[in-house]
Amino acid sequence: SQQGEEDPQALSIQEGENATMNCSYKTSINNLQWYRQNSGRGLVHLILIRSNEREKHSGRLRVTLDTSKKSSSLLITASRAADTASYFCATDGPGGNMLTFGGGTRLMVKP
Amino acid sequence: DVKVTQSSRYLVKRTGEKVFLECVQDMDHENMFWYRQDPGLGLRLIYFSYDVKMKEKGDIPEGYSVSREKKERFSLILESASTNQTSMYLCASSLRGSMDTQYFGPGTRLTVL
């Protein structure tokens, strides 16, 4: 079963708008990571947030983590057509050795 | 930059064939992983390895085996390919365990006829 579940499954916005994707998970974690995947390619790491952190920024990306609600959000500000991709959250789950990925959010940014 | 390469981008095999998928990383990473990705199911871990000759089962190991004879190379083997193994296969590596970033290869799209 998937540890992380992204919401929404698909999102379509205009260039320049902000995009927010959410991730919920079931069990306690040490860290949560976000990855991006362009169509038909491998995943690229975006950002890692540890369980004792609440917010992290990287360029136009802002990630928040609420361990009490077992949820995280990824905000992409001032989106560009090049941001069109699928975005996945991944958690290290109960075992600690493996990452478990959610089903992803497909983001389309229209020029 | 970390580079993870996979032997083929596209592969077509017949049912019953033995299939080898190769993955090589150039950053001396301890950990290597094999995932499969299917629409609506996300990425599912097949096997991972935390050291040479060491392996651990992931969520869906049935029908697969792996080999790690050298630190930089992790092979996924389908002993007798079946049509339900048609999928995108992704290899990844990380310096340490799950606390670290995973670096992914470009993927191999395998079709079993």
Q: For residues A105 and B1, what is the distance between their CA atoms, to the nearest angstrom?
A: 27
Angle at B43 between CA A38 and CA A65, to 5 degrees: 80
β-pair partners for A3:
none
Are A42 and B41 inside 8 Å of each other by CB?
Answer: no
Contacts across the A-B interface (CB distance below 8 Å): 64
- CB B107 to CB A104 under 8 A? no
- Model pLDDT for residues B24-83, shown as the tens digit of each residue: 999 999 999 999 999 878 899 999 999 998 999 998 999 999 999 999 999 999 999 999
- Alpha-carbon separation of residue B12 from B15, B17, B112 (angstroms): 10, 10, 6
Q: What is the pLDDT of residues B15-25, one digit of tens each?
A: 999 999 999 99
Structure confidence at residue A93 as a pLDDT band (50, 70, 90): low
